[in-house]
Amino acid sequence: MIKEDKISIAVIGLGYVGLPLAVEFSKKFPVVGFDLNTDRINELKRGKDRTREIDYSELNKNNNLILSYSHSCLKDSNVYIVTVPTPVDKNKTPNLAPLESASKTIGKYLNKGNIVIYESTVYPGATEEICVPILEEVSSLVYNKDFYCGYSPERINPGDKKNTLVNIKKVTSGSTKETASFVKELYETIIKAGVFTASSIKVAEAAKVIENTQRDVNIALINELALIFNKLNIDTNEVLEAAGTKWNFLPFKPGLVGGHCIGVDPYYLTHKAVEIGYKPQIILAGRRINDSMGKFVGEQTILRLIKNNINPSKAKIAILGLTFKENCPDLRNTKVVDIKENLEKYNCKVLVSDEFADNKESISELNIKLVGLEQIEKMDALIIAVEHKKYTQFNIKDFEKFLNPNGCLIDVKSIYKVDYFSKTSFTHWRL
């Protein structure tokens, strides 16, 4: 294994996962941060991180970190860490193209004794079944003889300033006993919370993919309960508050399930399950429920408009929040889009505002032009889809500006109490 004073790291992919990792490792070792997106690299060189995960000072004053979109920058590294996206396509099938491309790039520069560590979320077996053969073919080197692999699943929580990279326990693994020890010791240099070594790469891969699958299924249960309680005219959050008084009741809440992890990772596991001859039941059922919630919110908005004698085809509706979670600029797999699309089927005029989202990215990725909060006036319906901090601090005067007197507030995250609008003429619906 490589001696500590000889370690030179290349991090492939500088998104929400790769950039914090590159910055932390550069405090200990020489690091190359590589990304194919030239705009991303140029922004980072100017000290701007659109993900808001890293401060300007950490980028501007770091002489141990080289940022580049040039493949040649990888030639002197001996530890490669892959943090590229692993999305699904329109058919919910794993898209491993970014992972395969990264492996091909590394293979061109791989030398004897080098180690490749994958952090991207995959199904159990993907590292050694998909990535290793590519590394071998491109490099003409032999796995576990000339080079070695590790797998350490990312656990970044975008927008979370408390549970950061160094404060989350890391799972590591290696293709040999010696590699596993090296990978563990490497991450221990930056992870304050400690490291857990899995018995194999497959175990580490499986551990990651079930973390998010478990959350997805639990949220799906609560979302299904919300659908039932809505028909019974019972407030779901009041039910959850009452049930939560029992010590072992799990505190999940209903909502939209998007993002690059919870809304995607279960499909990696189910893909592999079907491949080996098992048809998942609970996991896919949970996915169907969670994927339907945006449409449900849209339909409930239309019903409230009709009850208030507002013609949906002439209705003006504003959606507050477009990112997949609160206080974060991440737009990946946001289900707010489903609400908007459902409303537009009724010819509603829909405005979208989000203080965290990047307007250029919103237009290019989602074809949605954002408006400022000051442009939200006298709407027939206001949908608070994301619990950004500012949206939790509105008062009655704010809502009187946002809404017409008989307007509807669709409170997806149940931010405001049931009786908050009791002295107004607004209709308040909570998921």
pLDDT band per the 50, 70, 90 thresholds, residue 157: confident
Q: Is the pLDDT of residue 257 over 80?
A: yes
Give Cβ neighbours of residue 115 (< 8 Å, ≥ 6 apart): 1, 2, 78, 79, 80, 147, 148, 149, 150, 179, 182, 183
pLDDT tens digits along 340-387: 999 999 999 999 999 999 999 999 999 999 999 999 999 999 999 999
Q: Dig out the tokens for 245 from the structure.
A: 């008084």
Q: Is the pLDDT of residue 58 over 90?
A: no
pLDDT band per the 50, 70, 90 thresholds, residue 52: confident
Residue 161 confidence (pLDDT): 83
pLDDT-above-90 percentage for the chain: 90
For residues 325-336, average pLDDT: 94
Q: Dig out the tokens for 357 from the structure.
A: 């989202």
Q: Is the pLDDT of residue 4 over 90?
A: no
Residue 238 confidence (pLDDT): 96
Q: Dig out the tokens for 193 from the structure.
A: 């919370």
Residue 47 confidence (pLDDT): 87
Residue 3 confidence (pLDDT): 87
Residue 296 confidence (pLDDT): 98
Tell me the Cα Rg of the chain. 24
Active-site amino acid positions:
261
pLDDT tens digits along 277-328: 999 999 999 999 999 999 999 999 999 999 999 999 999 999 999 999 999 9
CB 355 within 8 A of CB 388: yes
Q: What is the pTM of this model?
A: 0.93
- Measured N-to-C along each axis, helices 282-291 and 265-275 cross at an angle, to the nearest 10 degrees, of 140
What are the structural domains, with CATH classification, of the chain?
Answer: 4-191 (3.40.50.720), 292-431 (3.40.50.720)
